[in-house]
Amino acid sequence: MSRPRIAITLADPARARDKAAARLKNELYLDTVRRADGEPVGLDATTAERLAAEIVARADGVLLSGGADLDPALYGEAPDGTVGVRRDRDRLDLAAWRAAGERRAPVLGICRGLQAINVFMGGRLVQHVDGHQGPSFGEGDPVIHRFTLVPGSRLARIVDREGGDGAHAGGITASGPVSFAVNSYHHQAVRPPDLAPGLVAAGFADDGDRGPLVEALESADDRWIVGVQFHPERVETTPPAFERLFAAFVAAADESPSHRD
């Protein structure tokens, strides 16, 4: 049987300040899916509407990648810290999300993709948080912070075979839940009260006196939906354990009804 097809919604490099860096960022998603034995098919807001519809309709899984802020009108708010909205990208991601839902195909969201999943399911975002966004990719060392898995979550079961930062397996250590050092490129966030119905938190990052941020989420039922706020495709600043996230995603796509048709 052929490798599972993964539709990846991408930022349009032509609209980026650094077009070469934008193309490289897109290629990292494609390469990561290939390493996990999937067949990536990238599309962006310039992809012809009919072709984009055909791609997502045939996909066995959908990856919603990083990019510009979502339009806050999608969650019923006026702009208050949101910058660089790309409404054509919002439409692309929403169409891919709906197509995946019709087929119950697995969905993986990365950074903006996590936020999109939450918004599309009825949640909201904090439009700006300080201290989580450093230099753009390729322009300096990223911000690094601690990310803590929720014991027993789908993501913990996927990632935590050997434990974070040398801890033992099982999602929790003698000193508490397993945590990792991960990169941080975002300035918007999800807090626990912002979570959409049907989603549960799978990981948190500390936001100091303002409390925890939801930095991973997943479906509350058995459908394969996972989102992470950091960028695990950027392997130089991500623990190797998160390669298992992509492997699990592609494996779920391999088992999806669309791939068995």
Q: Which domains does the chain show, CATH number per domain?
A: 5-260 (3.40.50.880)
| Pairs from 37-42 (Cβ < 8 Å, separation ≥ 24) | 37/3, 37/247, 37/250, 38/3, 38/4, 38/5, 38/6, 38/246, 38/249, 38/250, 38/253, 39/2, 39/3, 39/4, 39/5, 39/6, 40/6, 40/8, 41/5, 41/6, 41/7, 41/8, 42/8, 42/10
Q: How far is CA 66 from CA 70, 112, 161, in A?
A: 11, 5, 27
Strand ranges (DSSP E) for the chain? 5-9, 39-43, 61-64, 107-110, 143-149, 172-173, 176-177, 179-184, 199-206, 212-219, 225-228
Quote the mean pLDDT of the chain: 89
111 included as an active-site residue = yes
Confidence of residue 171 (pLDDT cuts 50, 70, 90): very low
Task: Provide mean pLDDT across the span 120-133.
Answer: 86
Confidence of residue 134 (pLDDT cuts 50, 70, 90): low
Q: Indicate yes or no: pTM above 0.75.
A: yes
The DSSP symbol for 257 reads: H
User: What pLDDT was estimated at residue 83?
Assistant: 87
Q: Which of 111, 132, 218, 259 is catalytic?
A: 111
pLDDT at residue 36 is higher than 50: yes
Matching residue, tokens 């300080």: 130
Cα–Cα distance measured from residue 60 to residue 3, given in angstroms and rounded to the nearest whole number: 10
Comparing 65-69, 90-94, 148-152, 164-168, which segment has the lowest mean pLDDT? 164-168
Q: Which of 145, 186, 231, 259 is catalytic?
A: 231
| Residues 87-126 pLDDT 10s | 999 999 999 999 999 999 999 999 999 999 999 999 999 9
187 included as an active-site residue = no
SS3 87: helix
231 included as an active-site residue = yes
Q: How far is CA 222 from CA 64, 106, 120, 198, 219, in A?
A: 19, 10, 18, 11, 7
User: What pLDDT was estimated at residue 174?
Assistant: 41
Cα–Cα distance measured from residue 202 to residue 219, given in angstroms and rounded to the nearest whole number: 9
